[in-house]
Amino acid sequence: MKRFKNIGTGVQIALVVALMVLMAGAVGAYALDAANRDKIADGVTVGGVDVGGESTDDAKRMLRAKLVEPLEHPVTVTFEEHKFTLSPDEIDVRADIDGMVDEAQDASQEGGLPSRLVRYATGGEVDREITPRISYSNDAVDDFIAGVGAKVNRDAQDATVDPTPTSLTPVPAQDGIQLRAENLREKVDAALQSPKARTVKATVVRTEPEVTEKELASQYPSYITVDRGGFTLRLFKDLKLAKEYTIAVGAQGFDTSAGLYDIQSKQVNPTWYVPDEAWAGDLAGTTVPPGPDNPLQARWMGFNGGAGIHGTSDIGSLGSAASHGCIRMAVPDVIELYDQVDVGTPVYIF
């Protein structure tokens, strides 16, 4: 009986020893876990900044230096030769460093004690990217984006001509530009939260003009310029000077109005509907049919209400300011001009 008693005592001792070993192991495990509790697990990054293996205090200092301080620099938006700057002060940029480090610590504690012990023993990592906790005024960013759009956006511009009394200079067309505002907003948001990408490129949608420079000649098959001071009318065909004519223009007090007009009506041997004005004398308000008594000889090309281009039998007035606002031409000249222009032909008077 004594022999069995001794065996029982040995078992008890073994159990006690095993228990003590387990307790020591548990104490050691908890001690090891406690020793690492203030450290962030390897593999954890915050906004691209690797804080793995750092203490919470060191992680805070690192994030302040590598993440927050760069955020104090402006974000620059570029488009072609334009640059637009958004300063952090304008939108009150703030970073929650404590919150980011707390989230990194929480990520380091995931998986429970057994998982952490295995990681400690094997040098494993926690693959976790913490999104930066950056706050700023959304309204201020919206205003900034709207300001960029106001400078960048433009309607498509058709090619046109820049006339002078003696020439027509082609003006190239321009594409229409519309800022992709939502896309730029996403880029600016990302840049505001990034310590690296502080310059972003705006993208746009382009629309083509209806008239290109190559199409100008067909757009302006004929064009008239009137040099009042030089008493000269010039006809351009396909943007090239075709003919010059000596004319008479409005006398003082009846000046031919300057500006851009177009031929609105054409008549052969026109009737004169006399304006009801004092200068018309007894003819005021009457109608004068075609014939030798009608001052509107041969042809009429109206371009500005009651004003127009017409032939005259008073060829001595050509080369002077003599009319009541119309443009006078010699009869052969006005007939020649009439056959080369259509309704809609521009008439630029200088």
Looking at the chain, which residues constitute the CATH 2.40.440.10 domain(s)?
A: 220-349
CATH placement of domain 54-121+136-214: 3.10.20
∠ CA 45-41-98, nearest 5°, is: 60
pLDDT digits (tens, 9 = 90+) for 73-111: 899 999 999 999 999 889 888 889 999 999 998 888 887
Neighbours of 244 (CB within 10 A): 15
Location of each CATH 3.10.20 domain in the chain: 54-121+136-214
Mean pLDDT of the chain: 88
Q: Give the predicted TM-score (pTM) of the model.
A: 0.63
User: How confident is the model over 264-316, as pLDDT tens digits?
Assistant: 999 999 999 988 888 888 888 899 999 999 999 999 999 988 899 999 999 99
pLDDT digits (tens, 9 = 90+) for 26-82: 555 555 455 557 788 888 999 889 998 899 999 999 999 988 888 788 999 999 999
For residue 346, give every residue at least 6 positions away whose Cβ sits within 8 Å of its Cβ, in sequence order, or none.
Answer: 163, 220, 223, 224, 260, 261, 262
Cβ of 293: how many Cβ atoms within 10 Å?
Answer: 10
Q: Which of 334, 328, 314 is nearest to 231 (CA)?
A: 328
The answer to whether 32 and 120 have CB atoms below 8 angstroms apart is yes
Please give the C-alpha separations between residue 297 and each of 51, 122, 313, in angstroms, as whole numbers.
94, 108, 7
CATH architecture of 220-349: Beta Barrel (2.40)
